């Protein structure tokens, strides 16, 4: 151990949850890796420094900004030394010390200055750096990952990753990159523990919904109509049909098998298009998918999703191979550009970016902010401490005419300020705090000058409203303008503070905040979560503080999933843990806990908002719910949810399927005995007399099956297909657990582990591994999700073999999880435990010709894909 690190010692008692985390540290670090989620307020930096102290190796600590980098050094001196006595540190990577503090950008700059990658690695080897601490390693610029991964892969460093905000709102590629760098989550400090200890106050997240204006709705609706028309035109266009029919994948399938297997979704889209125009697909094409010539193939419909895949390949990835059709492609390219769906090297038929930008910045959110602020002031009166956080100042709206305020159609600091001034809110309590603009009321100005007689302030009256002044400068010495305005807010001279995320998201602290409105949408996940973390911190001297955090969503009434803005909000909620809306109360991450149903009309939106504002006004109930929920659990557990996605409610659909199966069976038996059998006997008596009983019975059964059995067959097939998968989730879980144990991924005794599944009234199956460590639970949930989520490109597949399902033409494909599928012997071990828990199955290797065909077939026709089943990970307090 380095002597300088040995001299460090934490000067205060650890909090209960911090001590519990540190007690498991040696167990977590055995694999030379530690990945921890520590929410704001949990002392993440202090825990990181204690880990560095215990490891006792030369360390490089990387932070996302200079401010946070400096906080690490400040915390080390303040909490681990006497009189800032630690000198063995450096802020320069080029001149490292025992502990070096830097930023990700600093590391990347140093990487670029090196002559080669080898020189870069040799520097770290020569300097003897053995520990790498990654603070908030998410949302990094693409080029920064290379040097980080190079260090991790080439040098055998101990990697410690600490974060309060995993990148749940990012794309799958970025999420995968994050976990490749930081590794699986080893431990997580629980928000309920912080509430129980009093470090966080009782709090609740609420969502206020809005609808875009009529012109925006009409614009979105017209766009979707045009896309639907485009799909129809492409189906009818003779030249385009010929292009697809003569595609090399379809005309020379055997020749291009390798290309087909490299682009399975493209091949699938080609076949789905042919099916949509009722063009018969040749048998050899179906054999590529693993079907035989006798099987009836039920392809998915040509939806916008499949058309987007088809067009993106045709116009970009495959265009150089389609020179003979360049005239035709240019014709459609012109139409796509006119429609507004042709982007840079991609085609967007969903309008994702366009609609997200339109909805996320919708002026309707200004109405939400006004409604929330008015209701909050009515509830809390002088106790209100509200912060509205947004992205832009919008200085063009500094001095609008009063009659033009209602016409402002952009979100920003000044639009919010002016809208609140003309609302029912006490305007004298409103203030603006940004890096380049500070506005306060004349009432607050007078208080400010009384408090700071020694400071010379320079004020300018706001042209559009003489009740407000712009603070242009302050000769304040060591006291900053931010500190001065924050003090006014803390003391209630300013009750409503509007600011930008760039100023307030990092470092700014005001423990009095009890209402936070997040009107930020540009890169807002990290800064919003940091700000949310500050709002939910407890306030010394105010044990009754209860915080309410408002999220805004403008929904798309033409989208059954409420649109892109709501979808983004849903992803972000995966990082927010809190209490449920419904009883019995529970604590969980994600938006499900708020029980927000799909909403389409203005009347429904208005009703939902009214209920939400009423719930937010009862802060005593919020506090009581936290007290109830915290007592129900003892720790965090990871959970996998599998959703029922049919438009028809789960219970109703299940009953209907069962009823159909029983009804059809009963009706046909009655019909057979009452009408069919007597008539058949009369008409076929000659068969009985001339050919004997055997031929007569054969004729009877054949007539019954073809005459009456089809509906029964369909009903039974649908019920079996629909009903079997969710019942087997627990058995699948046990197959994962037993494989994990045999491969050494779990050290917990088998007797202490329990796979628990629940099915709620909405058809959602939830599964959790009880008794496991955080690390074990994380591996378990990840593996189980891979098994039942839509099939992508696994190395191994399982095909369930069951005589009853085979008789009804039902095939269930499941993925062998990546952690078990890297080698054949490990995949076979998983197969063994699968068969012990679920039943016979066939292991299919998808990297060979036959297996790739089956993989294509599974991706197109697998029940999970066909019904777009959705799975989601959650964290629960249990």
Q: How confident is the model at residue 657 (pLDDT cuts 50, 70, 90)?
A: very low
**Higher pLDDT, residue 227 or 507:** 227
Residue 32 gets the label, from left (phi > 0), alpha (psi -120 to 50) or beta, of left
| Distance from C-alpha of 258 to C-alpha of 264, rounded to nearest angstrom | 10
Q: What is the mean pLDDT of residues 766-795?
A: 88
Average pLDDT value for residue range 262-266: 84
Q: What is the pLDDT of residue 290?
A: 62
CATH of 203-213+362-432+493-631, one of 3.40.50.300, 2.60.40.10, 1.10.3720.10, 3.40.50.720: 3.40.50.300
What are the Cα distances from residue 683, in Å, to 324, 473, 672, 680?
63, 105, 15, 5
Residue 241 has pLDDT above 80, yes or no: yes
- Please give the pLDDT value at position 356: 74
Out of 133-142, 360-369, 630-639, least confident range: 133-142
Structure tokens at 428: 């004298």
Question: Which residue bears the tokens 């909805």?
Answer: 359
Per-residue pLDDT for 407 more than 60?
yes
Residue-level pLDDT at 567 = 86
| Whether pLDDT at 656 is above 50 | no
- SS3 of residue 439 by DSSP: strand
More confident of the two residues 567 and 626: 626
What single string gives the DSSP state of each residue in 834-862? HHHHT--EEEEETTSHHHHHHHHHHHHH-
CA distances from 99 to 87, 109, 615, 710, 872 (A): 9, 19, 49, 75, 39
pLDDT tens for each residue of 324-341: 999 999 999 999 999 888
**What is the helix (H) or strand (E) element at residue 191, kind and residue range?**
helix 191-197
Kindly give, in sequence order, each residue whose CB lies less than 8 Å from that of residue 303, ignoring residues fewer than 6 positions away.
none
Residue 693 has pLDDT above 70, yes or no: no
What's the rounded Cα separation, in Å, for the pair 168 and 150? 24
Residues facing residue 62 across a β-bridge: 102, 134
- What are the backbone dihedrals phi and psi of residue 557, each rounded to the nearest 5 degrees, phi first? -70, -10
Helix (H) or strand (E) holding 642, with range, is strand 636-642
What's the distance, Cα to Cα, between the start and end of the chain in Å? 39
In this prediction, residue 14 carries a pLDDT of 96
Domain 3-189 and domain 203-213+362-432+493-631, same fold? Reply is: yes
Q: Which residues contact 431 (CB under 8 A, 6 or more apart)?
A: 438, 439, 440, 441, 444, 485, 488, 489, 494, 496, 497, 498
* 692 Cβ contact list (under 8 Å, min separation 6): none
pLDDT higher at 292 or 562 = 562
Closest CA to 796 of 767, 772, 761, 831: 831
Spatial contact of 307 and 234, defined as CB atoms under 8 Å apart: yes
pLDDT at 808: 46
- In this structure, are residues 149 and 123 in contact, taking their beta carbons and an 8 Å threshold? no
Q: Say how far residue 545 (Cα) sits from the centre of its chain.
A: 30
pLDDT per residue over 836-863, tens digit each? 998 889 999 998 878 887 887 787 655 4
Angstrom distance (rounded) from CA 518 to CA 520: 5
Tell me what the pLDDT averaged over the chain comes to.
85
Whether 688 has a pLDDT exceeding 70, the answer reads no
Q: Range with the lowest mean pLDDT among 126-140, 671-685, 719-733?
A: 671-685
Q: Which class would CATH give 3-189?
A: alpha beta
Question: Per mean pLDDT, which range of 348-362, 544-558, 641-655 is the poorest?
Answer: 641-655
Position 867 scores a pLDDT of 39
Give the global pTM.
0.84
pLDDT at position 718: 44
Q: How far is CA 388 from CA 359, 392, 426, in A?
A: 19, 12, 16
Residues linked to residue 208 through DSSP beta bridges, in sequence order:
552
User: What residue spans define the domains of the chain?
Assistant: 3-189, 203-213+362-432+493-631, 215-345, 650-722, 723-877
| Dihedral of alpha carbons 259, 263, 268, 269, sign | negative
Q: Is the dihedral of CA 73, 77, 80, 85 positive or negative?
A: positive
């Amino acid at each position: 151990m380095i002597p300088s690190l040995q001299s460090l010692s934490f000067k205060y008692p650890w909090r209960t949850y911090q001590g519990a985390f540190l007690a498991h540290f040696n167990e977590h670090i055995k694999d030379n890796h530690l990945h921890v989620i520590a929410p704001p307020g949990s002392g993440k930096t202090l825990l990181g420094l204690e880990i560095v102290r215990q490891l006792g190796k030369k360390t490089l600590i990387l932070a996302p900004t200079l401010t946070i980098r400096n906080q690490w050094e400040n915390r080390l001196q303040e909490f681990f030394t006497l009189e800032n006595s630690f000198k063995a540190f450096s802020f320069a990577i080029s001149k490292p010390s025992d502990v070096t503090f830097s930023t990700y950008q600093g590391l990347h700059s140093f990487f670029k200055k090196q002559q080669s990658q080898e020189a870069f690695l040799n520097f770290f080897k020569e300097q003897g750096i053995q520990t790498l601490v990654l603070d908030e390693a998410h949302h990094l610029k693409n080029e920064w990952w290379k040097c980080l991964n190079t260090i991790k892969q080439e040098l055998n460093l101990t990697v410690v990753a600490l974060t309060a905000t995993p990148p749940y709102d990012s794309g799958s590629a970025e999420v995968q990159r994050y976990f490749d760098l930081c590794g699986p989550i080893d431990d997580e400090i629980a928000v309920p523990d912080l509430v129980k200890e009093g470090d966080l106050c009782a709090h609740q997240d609420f969502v206020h919904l809005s609808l875009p204006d009529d012109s925006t709705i009409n614009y979105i609706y017209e766009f979707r109509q045009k896309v639907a028309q485009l799909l129809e035109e492409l189906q009818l266009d003779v030249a385009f049909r010929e292009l697809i029919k003569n595609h090399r994948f379809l005309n020379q399938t055997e020749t291009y098998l390798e290309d087909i297997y490299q682009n399975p979704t493209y091949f699938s889209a080609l076949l789905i298009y042919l099916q949509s125009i009722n063009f018969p697909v040749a048998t050899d094409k179906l054999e590529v998918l693993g079907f035989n010539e006798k099987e009836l193939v039920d392809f998915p419909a040509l939806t916008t999703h499949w058309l987007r895949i088809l067009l993106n390949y045709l116009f970009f990835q495959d265009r150089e191979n389609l020179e003979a059709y360049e005239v035709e492609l240019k014709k459609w390219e012109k139409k796509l550009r006119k429609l507004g769906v042709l982007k840079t090297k991609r085609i967007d038929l969903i309008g994702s970016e366009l609609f997200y930008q339109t909805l996320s910045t919708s002026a309707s959110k200004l109405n939400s902010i006004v409604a929330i602020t008015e209701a909050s002031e009515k509830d809390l009166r002088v106790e209100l401490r509200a912060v509205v956080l947004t992205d832009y100042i919008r200085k063009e709206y500094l001095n609008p005419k009063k009659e033009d305020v209602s016409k402002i159609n952009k979100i920003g600091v000044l639009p919010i300020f002016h809208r609140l001034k003309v609302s029912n809110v006490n305007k004298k309590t409103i203030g603006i705090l940004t890096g380049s603009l500070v506005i306060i009321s004349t009432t607050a100005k007078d208080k400010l000058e009384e408090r700071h007689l020694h400071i010379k302030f320079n004020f300018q009256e706001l042209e559009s409203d003489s009740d407000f002044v712009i603070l242009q400068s302050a000769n304040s010495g060591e006291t900053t303008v931010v500190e001065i305005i924050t003090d006014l807010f803390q003391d209630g001279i300013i009750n409503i503070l509007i600011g930008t995320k760039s100023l307030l998201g990092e470092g700014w602290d005001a423990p009095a905040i009890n209402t936070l409105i997040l009107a930020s949408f540009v890169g807002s996940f990290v800064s919003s979560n940091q700000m949310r973390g500050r709002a939910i911190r407890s306030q010394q001297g105010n044990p009754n503080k209860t915080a309410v955090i408002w999220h805004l969503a403008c929904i798309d009434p033409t989208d059954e999933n409420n649109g892109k803005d709501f979808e983004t909000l849903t992803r972000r909620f995966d990082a927010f843990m809190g209490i449920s809306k419904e009883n019995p109360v529970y604590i969980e991450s994600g938006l499900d806990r708020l029980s927000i149903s799909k909403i389409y009309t203005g009347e429904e939106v208005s009703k939902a908002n009214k209920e939400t504002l009423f719930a937010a006004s009862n802060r005593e109930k919020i506090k009581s719910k936290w007290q109830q929920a915290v007592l129900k659990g003892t720790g965090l557990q990871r959970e996998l949810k599998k959703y029922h996605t049919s438009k028809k409610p789960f219970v109703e659909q299940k009953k209907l399927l069962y009823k159909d199966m029983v009804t059809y069976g009963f009706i046909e038996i009655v019909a057979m005995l009452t009408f069919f059998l007597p008539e058949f006997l009369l008409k076929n008596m000659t068969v009985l007399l001339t050919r004997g009983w055997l031929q007569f019975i054969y004729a009877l059964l054949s007539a019954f099956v073809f005459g009456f059995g089809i509906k029964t067959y369909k009903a039974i097939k649908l019920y079996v297909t629909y009903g079997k998968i969710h019942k087997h989730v627990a058995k699948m879980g046990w197959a994962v657990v037993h494989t994990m144990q045999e491969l050494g991924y779990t050290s917990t005794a088998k007797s202490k582990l329990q796979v628990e599944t629940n099915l709620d009234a909405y058809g959602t199956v939830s599964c959790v591994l009880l008794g496991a460590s955080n690390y074990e639970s994380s591996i378990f949930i990840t593996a189980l999700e891979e098994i039942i989520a839509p099939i992508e490109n696994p190395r191994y597949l399982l095909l369930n073999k069951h005589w009853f399902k085979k008789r009804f033409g039902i095939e269930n494909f499941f993925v062998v999880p990546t952690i078990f599928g890297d080698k054949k012997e490990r995949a076979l071990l998983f197969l063994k435990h699968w068969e012990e828990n679920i039943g016979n199955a066939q292991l299919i290797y998808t990297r060979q010709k036959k297996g790739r065909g089956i993989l294509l077939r599974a991706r197109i026709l697998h029940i999970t894909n066909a019904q777009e089943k959705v799975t989601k990970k959650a964290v629960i307090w249990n």
